[in-house]
Amino acid sequence: MEYSELIKNRYTVRDFKPDAIPQDALEKILTAGQIAPTACNKQPQQIYIVSKPELIEKMRGITQCAYNAPVILILAGRKSEAWVNPFDNKDSTETDVSIVATHMMLEAANLNIGSTWVGWADLERIKKEFELPSDVTVYGLLNLGYASDASVPAPQHSDRKPLNETVSEL
């Protein structure tokens, strides 16, 4: 699909078929994240795959935004591995992880696999309950799976501010 069509057609999926994602499709999605740009190419991202039934159940107990996705990626990173801007001392981990996640989300769409980017969750609790290493920070989740036949974009999908409210010529 044309890139401009792909980004127009993508929408946040919140109702999934129970079908698993084929392994080769999951690998393509993860590889799309691997080739994402990161500041100074430091690649601080850590992506954890949650697909075992008991772990999916655990995630559904922590956040209602796991919905009924058959695969959930935990989007995390190691601040100690990220580039730090010397002017303000801010590390780029969250930005880097967000770009990695965007690459994965769009590759999923390219493979006709739906996704939900989830920020509404107790991310510290996820880190604790999934026993992630102490030096990683969790930034969100990316639910993955085939959209159910009933799935449609939410009304806010087509609600975008006009460009003149978000872009200015200086």
Our CB check for ligand FMN shows the closer of 93 and 116 to be 116
Please, how many CA atoms are within 13 Å of residue 150, restricted to the half-sphere of its CB?
A: 4
Q: Does 15 bind ligand FMN (CB under 6 A)?
A: no
Q: In the set 43, 45, 46, 116, which binds ligand FMN (CB under 6 A)?
A: 116
Stretch that binds ligand FMN, among 10-18, 19-27, 30-38, 80-88 (CB under 6 A): 10-18
Our CB check for ligand FMN shows the closer of 12 and 34 to be 12
Q: In what order do the strands lie in the sheet with 71-77?
A: 45-50, 71-77, 137-145, 114-118
Enumerate residues 119-148 that contact ligand FMN by CB under 6 A: 119-120
- Structure tokens of 148? 């159910």
Cα–Cα distance for residue pair 92/81, rounded to 1 Å: 10
CB–CB of 133/59 below 8 Å? no
Residue type at 33 in one-letter notation = G
Binding residues for ligand FMN (CB under 6 A): 11-12, 14, 65, 116-120, 153-154, 156-157
